[in-house]
Amino acid sequence: MTAWNDLYPFIRGGDVARTAQLVAGLGPADRKAVAAEATEHVRKSVRGGQPWWGGEFRHHIRPLVMVGVGCLGGSAAVATWLFRREFRWRRQDPRDVVRILDLVRDRPEPWRAELARRVAARVRLPELDHWELAAALLRESGAEPPDNPAFMAGWLGELQVESAATDPLLPVLGPRIFESDGLRDGLSAAGALVISELVRAGLLDRRAVLDGVVGRLLRDGQNGLPVLANLHDWLEPNLDETAERAEDYVRLLPPAPVPVAESAVARLRALDEAGRLEEELFAEAVEALTFRPEPRLLRAVLSWLGSTAGPRAAGRADVALRALSGIIGHEALVLQERAVRLAVPLAPVAGEEGREAIREAAATLPGELRERIAAAYGELPEEDEPAVPVPVAAPAPQLPPPVASPGELARELAGFRGSRGDAYTFERLLAGLAEWSHRAPDALREALRPWWEHPRHYYGKNLGDEAEHLLHRAFLAFAAPQESRGISAANRPDGSSGDHRAIDRLYRARAFELVAVFERGAGYPVLLAAPTSGTGHVAAETLLDRLALLEASGAEALPADLAQALLRLPREVDEATAARARTFTSAAGRACAAWMSGDRLPDPEVSCEPFTSTDYWSTHACVRVSLTLPAMEGLETISSAYYPELLNWWALALPSHRELAAAHLLRYLAHAVEAKSGVAAVLGDLARCAGPAGTATAYALAYGMGHADPASRASTADALLTLAARGETPIEALGAALTELIREGHLKLNRVSATLDEAARGGGHDAAWAVAARLLPSLLPADGDRPRAGLADLMAAAATAARPARARADLPALAAMASRKGSSRVVQEARRLHRLVAPRASVPVS
């Protein structure tokens, strides 16, 4: 019996304690032999195709960690063993740290210090694997921690007031806190509170921490951590400390996040109220805040300017008026009103510079506010008619050129990364495989040899729907058909996972059609469905050219390739091209001729029923979609499965069938409305599709407009601009969809309003106003009812659109809202909108 044979039953049984005990008792020769056996055991397990994250091998991992720590000779070898990727999926147990410390305690002190530094240097975010072990080794050995951001993040995460005083890492890591890149990942609000208490306890130097906080905020600029502003405020800098850093606080104001800027403003105001802020710094601070777009900061500067009225007003009048002139130009009516209220009393002490700034800014004010400025500052210049932007359709992406050689095809394949790759690259590579496997098969096999001879254990696992795997299977079938046949025999013949996501299945079927062709030793010289336009369309003449090449080679059109090609044809084909199609005698040629002559897939009738669904974690927006459509490639069935891999490619598969693409997308757009998934980016492709924009398109746009993620709402605004430029915005359907989704609580009105506002500013004002005009009658409150949340935002967005659209509308509910008493924002916005759009015969509401 060998030492390995004695150990292996405990390794296999997952007995960590007994394994560590036996390893500790081994002599030098046995340790060397066991280290070799353990290394080979791991290598064989992985080479055998056994996944290290599951199955029997997972139970071996923790005992194997003890074996390597106790038996490998060098500290570098032990550190490498600890961080083997096969061990990442082990079950975490804090007792293992104690066991490892016991196993290395008989090693020389320099060896243990070196191991501590190596393990600490290899800790990585976000897992922080082996951080506890690294910290324990450093504390026991007295070694200095390396400058590793991940290690710092772990230390900050466990920092406690009670243990800090005796922590040997505090004197070394404390001075590094604010210089480390690990601060962003490691410092929480609780950690910041601990640091403030350590300062009060004298364990961290107060001046160094204050300087560190302010310096780090200056360094990070717009990426500054709000939690550092919390720490700064908890330290409560006194006036002397504030005065020392006054210039730094002013420098923070232009770029810093709002919470950071608010903290700086609070310190500067305190200094100003004490009479210790220099006038130059006051002017610089106020000007910096004026250029910030955030209403919170503009309210802060208005409050500050209001507090300086009195003895210092005359000396600061021009500074204040320059600032107020900037705020007067803000779109928020409540900010305009406050700025005017502050500006009017300053008129008697204003210099010419300040007066001119206010008079120029006031030219764009609504009538009542403009009159108040004119009464105080004299006649105002006539307002210039602003240039009205024109909506511009976002251009479709340019297609990459065809693959020029077998070598280029092999290189491009190696760089493709699944769903992170784009649909155009997928299509280009699949088309390149068909072409070059026919034109130069030997050269292509040779170019692919380094790729396909690389280990590919994942080919035989669940392939799912990832584009990378689809391409790899198609290329493998050509490069090594015998190996491909073995994989096909062990999996579903089409590589599917058995779900019903029709458009994903269409992409997958096209790849696996080529797999079947290559596995039987045949060829397919050209893909019919490869797009010729960035919209996903295939030019009708090009399709016929490809079909002629296919017929000349003696190959028959593959069913999914032909179906996709037909779906990508333009909606209108000229008679000459249709006549040419009728000259083809093959089944594929007859199908093309019929489609081009008008016997194509009809546009569906779609109905939508929004609802909410609750799972273990949260409540999601959902929608039931039904459509009427003849059977074709499963497109008549809406998927009930979540998380399709190729969702952002779906519109490109149906470029002439916008409503059909939208109907399939709806479930996922609704489900993702509160997530940062990027799903709404597909709306840009949907907008570039051809075909009617009806109910499904309207609901798709509505969910994008109400998305929680600003980037997704921006994508939706771009889609609205594309539709507006093409005259295809589904005004009535979109207004109806938004009304239903907002009134039933599925979407938040303020988000929808923000998207409308962005579209209006980008040139889509006519469409934005038309949609807003259909929303307002349904969302404005009846007499005596409270306005719904976000209504002021909707009216502000409507006003933004109404002015360039020169809109006129008789909206009784708006007039009633505008006539309410009070000065709340919603009433002010109602008055402004009513003045803009009410027919001229109406009596203005004041």
- Residues 553, 451 share a domain: yes
Distance CA 773, CA 23 (A): 78
Final residue of a domain: which of 596, 617, 636? 596
Tokens of 236: 């409560």
Mean local confidence (pLDDT), 555-573:
96
What pLDDT score was predicted for residue 51?
46
Share of the chain above pLDDT 90, in %: 69
- Residues 424, 354 share a domain: no
Average pLDDT, the chain: 89
Mean local confidence (pLDDT), 713-737:
96
What pLDDT score was predicted for residue 224?
94
- How far does the chain reach from its first CA to its final CA, in angstroms? 100
Query: 359 is in which domain, residue-wise?
Result: 278-378
Cis peptide before 812 (omega within 30 of 0): no
> Quick one: pLDDT band at residue 60, thresholds 50, 70, 90?
confident
What pLDDT score was predicted for residue 655?
97
> Quick one: pLDDT band at residue 48, thresholds 50, 70, 90?
very low
What pLDDT score was predicted for residue 640?
59
> Quick one: pLDDT band at residue 543, thresholds 50, 70, 90?
very high
What pLDDT score was predicted for residue 464?
42
> Quick one: pLDDT band at residue 59, thresholds 50, 70, 90?
confident
Distance CA 137, CA 134 (A): 5
- Residues 461, 520 share a domain: yes
What pLDDT score was predicted for residue 195?
96
What pLDDT score was predicted for residue 120?
95
In a domain, 187, yes or no: no
With CA atoms as reference, report the closest residue to 458 among 501, 403, 495, 511.
495
In a domain, 425, yes or no: yes
Distance CA 160, CA 198 (A): 9
In a domain, 413, yes or no: yes
**Residue 756 pLDDT exceeds 50:** yes
What pLDDT score was predicted for residue 58?
73
With CA atoms as reference, report the closest residue to 756 among 776, 774, 772.
772
- Residues 535, 423 share a domain: yes
Highest mean pLDDT among 406-420, 453-467, 827-841: 827-841
- Residues 433, 346 share a domain: no
**Residue 641 pLDDT exceeds 70:** no
Long-range contacts of range 34-42, CB-CB < 8 Å, 24 or more positions apart? 34/3, 34/4, 34/7, 34/67, 34/71, 35/67, 35/68, 35/71, 35/72, 35/73, 37/2, 37/4, 38/4, 38/64, 38/67, 38/68, 38/71, 41/11, 42/84, 42/86
What pLDDT score was predicted for residue 154?
95
Mean local confidence (pLDDT), 382-390:
72
Tokens of 79: 């550190």
- Residues 293, 341 share a domain: yes
- What radius of gyration, in Å, describes the C-alpha atoms of the chain? 34
Burial 12-26 (b: 16+ CB within 10 A, else e): eeebbeebbebbeeb
Mean local confidence (pLDDT), 677-683:
87
Please state which of the ranges 464-478, 660-674, 801-815 shows the lowest mean pLDDT: 464-478
- Residues 616, 585 share a domain: no
What pLDDT score was predicted for residue 132?
95
Burial 578-600 (b: 16+ CB within 10 A, else e): bebbeebeeebbebbbebbeeeb
Name the residue with higher pLDDT: 164 or 620.
164
Mean local confidence (pLDDT), 44-73:
74
In a domain, 467, yes or no: yes
Final residue of a domain: which of 697, 726, 747? 747
**Residue 136 pLDDT exceeds 90:** yes
**Residue 52 pLDDT exceeds 50:** no
277: left (phi over 0), alpha (psi -120 to 50) or beta: beta
Mean local confidence (pLDDT), 245-255:
96
In a domain, 399, yes or no: no
pLDDT in tens, 68-117: 999 999 999 999 999 998 887 778 888 999 999 999 999 999 999 999 99
Segment holding 620, helix H or strand E? strand 619-628
pLDDT in tens, 332-374: 888 988 999 999 999 898 889 999 999 988 887 877 788 899 8
- Residues 434, 291 share a domain: no
**Residue 50 pLDDT exceeds 50:** no
**Residue 475 pLDDT exceeds 90:** yes
In a domain, 45, yes or no: no
> Quick one: pLDDT band at residue 633, thresholds 50, 70, 90?
low
What pLDDT score was predicted for residue 840?
67
Mean local confidence (pLDDT), 132-159:
95
- Residues 651, 564 share a domain: no
Q: Is 538 in contact with 568 (CB distance < 8 Å)?
A: yes
Angle subtended at Cα 693 by Cα 687 and Cα 696, rounded to the nearest 5 degrees? 95
pLDDT in tens, 583-607: 999 999 999 999 999 999 999 999 9
> Quick one: pLDDT band at residue 320, thresholds 50, 70, 90?
very high
What pLDDT score was predicted for residue 843?
45
- Residues 722, 673 share a domain: yes
- Residues 621, 496 share a domain: no
**Residue 165 pLDDT exceeds 50:** yes
What pLDDT score was predicted for residue 386?
65
Long-range contacts of range 102-108, CB-CB < 8 Å, 24 or more positions apart? 102/20, 102/24, 103/20, 103/23, 103/24, 103/66, 103/69, 103/70, 104/69, 104/78, 104/137
* Residue 640 backbone dihedrals phi, psi, to 5 degrees: -105, 5
Share of the chain above pLDDT 70, in %: 92
**Residue 528 pLDDT exceeds 50:** yes
**Residue 739 pLDDT exceeds 90:** yes
In a domain, 245, yes or no: no
> Quick one: pLDDT band at residue 209, thresholds 50, 70, 90?
very high
Distance CA 618, CA 677 (A): 16
In a domain, 387, yes or no: no
**Residue 532 pLDDT exceeds 90:** yes
**Residue 2 pLDDT exceeds 50:** yes
Please state which of the ranges 172-186, 416-430, 476-490, 718-732 shows the lowest mean pLDDT: 416-430
**Residue 472 pLDDT exceeds 50:** yes
Angle subtended at Cα 525 by Cα 524 and Cα 527, rounded to the nearest 5 degrees? 80
Q: Please state the domain count of the chain.
A: 3
Mean local confidence (pLDDT), 509-517:
95
Angle subtended at Cα 503 by Cα 717 and Cα 559, rounded to the nearest 5 degrees? 140
Final residue of a domain: which of 526, 561, 596? 596
What pLDDT score was predicted for residue 465?
43
- Residues 363, 419 share a domain: no
**Residue 726 pLDDT exceeds 50:** yes
